[in-house]
A and B are shown apart, each in its own frame.
Chain A
Amino acid sequence: DIQMTQSPSSLSASVGDRVTITCRASQGISNYLAWFHQKPGKAPKSLIYAASSLQSGVPSKFSGSGSGTEFTLTISSLQPEDFATYYCQQYSSYPYTFGQGTKLEIK
């Protein structure tokens, strides 16, 4: 299985900040990479697919980049509703696998 490693595991930031989360794959996955976030007790929400394509309805403050083995998710101008746990997922080969998550907390 392809291993996905996210960094950092947790991140403290303030409203209005810009943050970047990194996801690394144990082997090349082209651009078959998705990002989503989750709040406690809520359904995970899709943000980005194909490494950089925004899911419908997701604000442009979210952006993704990368290809191969290294990917980033950037969130600009953090708002209170953005504080959640963020995950990456590869869908290059099954079983699709996930990063361990990055918990974004309010400073």
Chain B
Amino acid sequence: QVQLQESGPGLVKPPETLSLTCTVSGGSISSFTYYWSWIRQPPGKGLECIGYIYYGGSTNYNPSLKSRVTISLDTSKNQFSLKLSSVTAADTAVYYCARMYTSGWIDYWGQGTLVTVSS
């Protein structure tokens, strides 16, 4: 059974960089079958795709966040990470990591972690 678990600080000060890691168990991230994705949901709002990374190293980011986002892979630890720079209160959200088939549909999600941006 594949499991994903997000980890990282629950509080970030503006305009610092938000950093989260997703640890994958029960499956390898060294696969050409999947994209490794980050999604967020601000309180009381809808779900928003942040971006994803492919084992080959290519990335795709939501244009609305592209200038501030970096997603990377660490195959030695079976993890992938998210960095979101210059955060503001609008970046307060539950952040999810997910495994996504290259066709685009998600089969496994992490349970999410709340990140609050506040001074």
With A97-B49, A101-B46 given, is the CB distance from A32 to B109 under 8 Å?
A: no
Count of chain A to chain B residue pairs whose CB atoms are closer than 8 Å in the complex = 56
- Chain A residues with CB under 8 Å of B110's CB are 43
**Which of B23-31, B75-83, B84-92, B100-108 interfaces with chain A?**
B100-108
- Chain B residues with CB under 8 Å of A91's CB are 103-105
- Chain A residues with CB under 8 Å of B111's CB are 41-43
B52's closest neighbor in chain A, by CB? A94
- Chain B residues with CB under 8 Å of A41's CB are 111
Asked if B60 is an interface residue, CB under 8 A from chain A, the answer is yes
Is the CB–CB distance between B49 and A49 below 8 Å?
A: no
Question: Contact string, A84-98, partner B, CB cutoff 8 A, digits 1/0?
Answer: 000101011011111
Chain A contact residues: helix, strand, loop or mixed: loop
Report the minimal beta-carbon distance from A91 to chain B, rounded to whole angstroms.
Answer: 3
B112's closest neighbor in chain A, by CB? A43
Is the CB–CB distance between A55 and B107 below 8 Å?
A: yes
Is the CB–CB distance between A95 and B106 below 8 Å?
A: no
B107's closest neighbor in chain A, by CB? A46
Task: A34 to B100: give the CA distance in the assembly, Å.
Answer: 11
Interface residues of A (CB under 8 A from B): 32, 34, 36, 41-46, 49-50, 55, 87, 89, 91-92, 94-101
